[in-house]
Amino acid sequence: MDTLIASSAGFFTFMNYVQFHPKIGNIWMRPDSTGSKKIQLEGLMPMIKAPLMYNHFWKSENLDINWLAYVIGFNGVYYLYRCM
């Protein structure tokens, strides 16, 4: 259960990072045809699939847009915290 919480925290951190980063932004919350912002998770799906399909998402300069790096990192920090 603790691993699920740490993984979820990592994934939600990734979601917020790609949404609010000035160079990436507007991935899952976009304006619709009326101009009001709506949640559109289909914009997030290519970002979720990308690390599983493309090797360059595992290079150090691209780890900030790799959701698996966030999940692994949050679980690692949680594990180290638990060992203390």
DSSP string computed for 22-54? TTT--SSEEE-TTS-EEE-GGGTHHHHHHHHH-
Give the model's pLDDT for residue 12: 95
**Which parts of the chain fold into alpha helices (H)?**
2-20, 45-53, 67-83
Q: Find residue 29's DSSP bridge partners.
A: 39
Each residue's pLDDT tens digit, 44-82: 899 999 999 999 999 999 999 999 999 999 999 999 999
Q: pTM for the full model?
A: 0.86
Distance CA 44, CA 13 (A): 13
Task: Choose from 18-22, 26-30, 39-43, 53-57 the range with maximum mean pLDDT.
Answer: 53-57
Q: Is 13 exposed, middle or buried (0-12, 13-18, 19+ CB in 10 A)?
A: middle
